[in-house]
Amino acid sequence: MNREEIITAVKDIIHTIAPDEELSNLAADVRLRDQIELDSMDFLDIVMELRKRYGVQIPEEDYKELATLDGCVSYLGPKLQGKALKVGV
Amino acid sequence: MHTGRYDALVIGAGFSGLAAAIRLAQFERRVVLLERHALWGGLNSFFKRGGRRLDTGLHALTNFTPPGVKHSPLAKILRQLRLERDQLRLGEQSHSEIVFPGARLEFANGGARLEESVAQAFPAALERFRALLREVRAAEPFAADAVRGSARARLAAQLQEPLLEDMLLCAVCYYGSALEDDVDWNDFVILFRAIFLEGFARPEGGVKTLLDLLVRRFKEAGGELRTHAGVRRIRHDARGVTGVELDDGTELEAERVFSSAGAVETLALAGRPEPDRRPRLSFLESTWITRQPTRQRGHAATITFFSTRERWRYAQPAELVDVESGVICCSDNYASATAPAEGIVRVTVPAHGPRWCALQGEEYERAKAAAVAQALDAARRFVPDPRPDGALADAFTPRTIVHYTGHVDGAIYGSPTKRRDGRTAIPNLFLIGTDQGLVGIVGALLSGITMANLHALQASRA
């Protein structure tokens, strides 16, 4: 997956978890938590959805890497290499 | 039907069981939800009588917040279970009241009306009440290091007004305390917000609307619901839980078991009885359908908490029932898309679980009829007597609750001893529901969600 696809993948997961949030104008370099309402329960769900959809395992100490969309791209990039984007699952 | 090993097995399809099962099933775990009865819902179920559908538990869905309010328990539940708020079809209460000898408080959703009401009824205590409100708003009741202890002691010191203290505790205890004459401070904070600062609503169509959504969601997520599947034994070995044996002898294996049967009840199923002899609180409830809607019969309040005693008591009564205090719920006084065609009046009073459970046959029926009459005689001081206009009547006692939930002594809010982390002495056997600590429909849903997250999803993700 390339950068755009990873961002789409993460946004689609956030949309599943928090359908009431506006995601079109998210800045990639600002903490997600500062732009939309996401608590620790929601972060657990992002991680669970990444595992379910893409088989990606993320240990708890790495959660902080997912704080921004840029962070997601650099952390998930290697893990999602060669995997196909799944949207609206 | 799946015959192999389950990743997770959930005992009891009440609200905590349904919520835990949905969370587990959502993440591709092989999950089975077992219910002894024909119908799900547990304490909060429904049944048909005389062509009408009656709810067994639901007085109110607490924690009502207007659409768009985030960070509320209701919003968290919706997100975690992937439900949309509109699906709940919530209708708000008109207003509710707490009526004691010499004082009356009124409240509606959002908290402002309660503050006005305290200002009128207890002007001298108003500033101290406002300080309490600030404290309740600032507290972090879901934090790991949340403050516990006696809410009554704190209220007594804070308010210095025993009548106001009793009146606030009356509503809070009736909607969620397993302790006599008190409630844990942290639970008080949770319930005070749920009842007074957020508020009451009812799903259009009653509890079935909510249950249908949850069952559908569970099945969509791939879960398996088995009714008529009571558990008679929980199996375990030295390493922990291994599965269960059903009433019909079927054996099911599972990695983890989540039980909403209650702490003592669950351990007894596992062959490790740990009796807990502190008194448990139970209730008798008389439900009446009246030909005319309640509002036309001259009563606008949705819920009335009452006491006819100066000092209110919340305890296992000395007799079969104690009618000096109770709760009256007029469910047709919730906002609704269609105007109510009939009225519903429900009168709930404290009852003595063990005594009711000891009664049999005709003796039981006679006692029930007498207790219903006593409760209605007490309640008619606060709501028009439903009997003259009654089209249908029904009642439940602690014995009914034991039959449908298996909870010792018909305890509505479970054991006075809570196990907040949900752990038991047996590895991978976890408690959800009333004995884990959160009560009411919203509390039960949160209990199932948080325990499934903590003990299965977080535990096995890495």
Of the residues B87, B220, B461, the best mutation for testing chain A's interface (the one with the most A CB atoms within 10 Å of its CB) is B461
Contact of B142 with chain A, judged by CB distance below 8 Å, is answered with no
CB pairs under 8 A between A and B: 39
The predicted pLDDT at position B153 comes to 97
Residues of chain B with C-beta less than 8 angstroms from the C-beta of A38: none
B333 has a pLDDT exceeding 90: yes
Residues of A in contact with B71 (CB under 8 A): 37, 39
Mean pLDDT, range B258-264, rounded to an integer: 96
Residue B343, classed as helix, strand or coil, is strand
Asked if B453 lies within 8 A of A44 by C-beta distance, the reply is yes
Whether A89 has its CB under 8 Å from any CB of chain B: the answer is no
Higher-pLDDT residue of B2, B155: B155
Per-residue model confidence (pLDDT) at position B3: 59
pLDDT above 90: residue B56: no
CA distance A61 to chain B (A): 10
Contacts of B93 (CB under 8 A, 6+ apart): B60, B64, B108, B109, B199, B200, B201, B202, B302, B303, B333, B334, B335
Measure the N-to-C terminal CA separation of chain A; round to a whole number of Å: 17
Q: Which of A55-69, B242-256, B316-330 has the lowest mean pLDDT?
A: A55-69
Percent of chain B with pLDDT over 90: 87
Structure tokens at B65: 């917040």
Q: Chain B residues with CB inside 8 Å of A60's CB? A: 458, 461-462
Tokens of B93: 């209460």
With residue B71 as reference, give the H or E element that holds it. Answer: none
- What sections of B221-315 are H helices per DSSP? 263-269
Closest by CA to B43, choosing from B316, B412, B321, is: B412
**In order of start, what are the domains of chain B with their CATH numbers?**
6-58+207-275+418-460 (3.50.50.60), 108-195 (no CATH), 279-405 (no CATH)
Tell me if residue B307 falls in helix, strand or coil.
Answer: strand
- The pLDDT of residue B462: 42
Whether residue B461 and residue A45 make contact (CB cut-off 8 A), yes or no, is: no
State which amino acid sits at residue B139.
A
What's the Cα-to-Cα distance from B442 to each of B108, B285, B303, rounded to whole Å?
Answer: 18, 21, 18
Q: Is the CB of residue B125 less than 8 Å from the CB of residue B161?
A: yes
Nearest chain B Cα distance for residue A63, angstroms? 12
Residue A78 has what pLDDT? 95
Does B27 touch chain A if contact means CB atoms closer than 8 Å?
Answer: yes
pLDDT band at B458 (very low <50, low <70, confident <90, very high): confident
Do the Cβ atoms of A37 and B80 come within 8 Å?
no
**Winning range, highest mean pLDDT, from A35-39, A79-83, B315-319:** B315-319
Give me the mean pLDDT over the B29-50 stretch: 92
What angle (nearest 5°) sits at the alpha carbon of residue B430, between those of residues A38 and B278? 110
Asked if pLDDT for residue B178 goes beyond 70, the answer is: yes
C-alpha distances in Å from residue B252, one per residue of B142, B157, B221, B226, B227: 34, 53, 21, 12, 14
Burial grade of B217 (CB within 10 A; 0-12, 13-18, 19 or more): buried
Minimal Cα distance from B451: which residue of A? Answer: A41
Indicate the residue type of A45.
D
Say if A12 is an interface residue toward chain B (CB within 8 Å).
Answer: no
Chain A residues closer than 8 Å to B70 by CB: 20, 37
- For residue B266, the tally of other CB atoms under 10 A from its CB is 29
A75: number of CA atoms within 13 Å, CB side? 19
Q: Please indicate if any CB of chain A lies within 8 Å of the CB of B251.
A: no
Could you tell me which of A48, A87, A19 has the C-alpha nearest to residue B29?
A: A48
Give the pair of three-digit tokens for residue B21: 């099962």
What pLDDT is recorded for position B399? 96
Is the Cβ of A62 closer than 8 Å to some Cβ of chain B? no
For B183-234, how does the pLDDT look when each residue is reduced to its tens digit (9 = 90+)? 999 999 999 999 999 999 999 999 999 999 999 999 999 999 999 999 999 9
- Alpha carbon B107 to its chain centroid, in Å, reads 20
Residue with token string 């009502």? B64
- The amino acid that residue B396 corresponds to is F
Tell whether A58 lies on the interface with B, counting CB pairs under 8 A: yes
Which residues of chain A neighbour B26 with C-beta distances below 8 Å?
A: 48
- ipTM (interface predicted TM): 0.86
Q: Does any CB of chain B come closer than 8 Å to the CB of residue A86?
A: no
For residue B80, the chain A residue with the least C-alpha distance is: A17
| Interface residue B71 vs chain A (CB under 8 A) | yes
Quick one: pLDDT band at residue B358, thresholds 50, 70, 90? very high
- Mean of the pLDDT values across residues B21-25? 97
DSSP for chain A, written as a single string? --HHHHHHHHHHHHHHH-TTS--TT--TTS-HHHHS---HHHHHHHHHHHHHHH-----GGGGGGGSSHHHHHHHHHHHHTTPPP----
Express each pLDDT in B399-449 by its tens digit.
999 999 999 999 999 999 899 999 999 999 999 999 998 888 999 999 999
Q: Which residues contact B417 (CB under 8 A, 6 or more apart)?
A: B263, B276, B278, B435
* CB distance B183 to B151 below 8 Å: yes
B196: exposed, middle or buried (C-beta count within 10 Å: 0-12, 13-18, 19+)? buried
CB atoms within 10 A of CB A25: 6
Q: State mean pLDDT over B278-292.
A: 95
User: Which residues are registered as beta bridge partners of B237?
Assistant: B240
**CB B304 within 8 Å of CB B96:** yes
CA atoms of A30 and A18, how far apart (whole Å): 18
pLDDT of residue B101: 96
* A57: chain B residues, CB-CB within 8 Å: 461-462
Percentage of chain B exceeding pLDDT 70: 98
Put simply, the answer to whether A45 touches B80 (Cβ < 8 Å) is yes
CA distance B348 to B323: 9
Judged by CB atoms closer than 8 Å, whether chains meet at B27 and A52 is answered as yes
Q: Do B461 and A37 touch (CB under 8 A)?
A: no
**Rounded-to-integer distance, Cα B344 and Cα B336, Å:** 14
CA distance A62 to chain B (A): 11
Query: How much is the mean pLDDT over chain B?
Result: 94
Are the beta carbons of A45 and B70 separated by less than 8 Å?
no
Question: What per-residue confidence (pLDDT) applies to A89?
Answer: 64
Residues of chain A positioned with their CB less than 8 A from the CB of B449:
41
Residue B454 and residue B422 in contact, taking contact as beta carbons nearer than 8 Å: yes
Classify residue B202 by its DSSP letter.
E
Q: Which of A37, A39, A51 shows the shortest C-beta gap to B461?
A: A51
How far apart CA B261 and CA B430 sit, in angstroms, is 11
User: Which CATH superfamily hosts domain A3-80?
Assistant: ACP-like (1.10.1200.10)
Q: Which residue has the higher pLDDT, B286 or A24?
A: B286
CB B450 within 8 A of CB B442: no
Per-residue confidence (pLDDT) for residue B460, from 0 to 100:
62
B84, B457, B462 ranked by CB distance to A44: nearest: B457
Q: Are B10 and B17 in contact (CB under 8 A)?
A: yes
Q: A47 and B461 in contact by Cβ < 8 A?
A: yes
Taking an 8 Å cut-off on Cβ atoms, the answer to whether A44 and B79 are in contact is no
Q: With an 8 Å Cβ cutoff, is B457 touching chain A?
A: yes
Give residue B421's pLDDT.
94
| Structural contact between residues B64 and B201, judged by C-beta atoms closer than 8 angstroms | yes
Q: In the structure, how many helices (H) and strands (E) does chain B have?
A: 14, 18
